[in-house]
Amino acid sequence: MPQHQRWIRFERAGKTGFGTLDGHKVREYQGDMFGSPEATGHVFELDALRLLTPTEPSKVIALWNNFHALGEKLKLPVPAEPLYLLKAPNSFLAPGEAIRKPLCEGKVVFEGELGIVIGKTCTAVPEAEALAHVFGYTCANDVTVADILNRDASFAQWARAKGFDTFCPMGPVVATGLDPASLTVTTLLDGAVRQHYPISDMRFSVQQLVSLISFDMTLHPGDVILCGTSVGVGSMKPGSLVEVEINGIGKLSNRFG
């Protein structure tokens, strides 16, 4: 297992960069975060930087019905294979940035999730080799306009409901060297715990997700797979602060509206 590090992307003086987070200090690196990055020797105060999304994904894949607890609560049939959708690139949002209220009406809900960050290009990767293609893990909020999903009986509108601008906050870091089965996702709404669930409750494990999805489409470095959510999903009101916290990674904070 690789060393535990927390990687971030940032903007400083109009330029983008990346590095590792150590307390409130950021050690800058150059080159390829997923290859063999080299330390520049520069160290910055975290507060002096504007955080960006932790990677620049070509796509974000989001799972549905991947946790036993939520599936049983909703009385959903057990899926034979991963059920997923794609989040549009315009939805990607950095830590601390505002989730914009859609121009349409409807109930907007938060979904705190673990994000798997791909580190090596993978196509049709066997399950036994899948973890070698994972760089690390991040926090994410799979924001959704719930009312839109099944409004038209002839067509479930997953892409639209989950694809609004700013509807995929991610970050603040990509953490390496973690055992995903030991992680717990906690989502807070205005400081109150609304979700608290173990990743070990997933129907499809990290290695199964990476392997099976890679048989459908090539996964590239920086791509993110959102593992799905569990019980406790709820609606947000304008002004609400949503925080997704995962042990070993950190806390993703975004205000709605």
* 177 inside domain: yes
Round to whole Å and give the CA distance between 77 and 188. 29
- Mean of the per-residue pLDDT values of the chain: 97
Q: Is residue 6 part of a domain?
A: no
Question: Does 8 reside within a domain?
Answer: no
Q: Is the dihedral of CA 195, 200, 203, 206 positive or negative?
A: positive
Query: What pTM was computed for the model?
Result: 0.97
Tally Cβ neighbours within 10 Å of residue 76: 12
- pLDDT value of position 234: 96
Q: Which domain holds residue 200?
A: 53-255
Q: How much is the pLDDT for 2?
A: 72
Is 29 domain-assigned? no
The answer to whether residue 22 sits within a structural domain is: no
Mean pLDDT of 35-51: 96
Q: Is residue 141 part of a domain?
A: yes
CA distance 85 to 142: 11
Overall number of domains in the chain: 1
Length of the chain: 257
Find the mean pLDDT for residues 131-135. Answer: 98
pLDDT cut 70: percent of the chain above it: 100
What is the per-residue pLDDT across 53-98, written as a single tens digit (0 to 9) for each? 999 999 999 999 999 999 999 999 999 999 999 999 999 999 999 9
Look up the CATH number of the domain holding residue 190.
3.90.850.10
pLDDT of residue 221: 98
Start-to-end Cα distance in the chain: 40
Residue 78 belongs to some domain of the structure: yes
From CA 48, how far away is CA 10, in angstroms rounded?
Answer: 10
pLDDT at 150 over 90: yes
Residue 152: predicted pLDDT:
96
pLDDT (tens digit, 9 = 90+) per residue, 190-239?
Answer: 999 999 999 999 999 999 999 999 999 999 999 999 999 999 999 999 99
With 70 as the cut, is the pLDDT of residue 186 above it? yes
Whether residue 15 lies inside any domain: the answer is no
What is the per-residue pLDDT across 7-33, written as a single tens digit (0 to 9) for each?
999 999 999 999 999 999 999 999 999
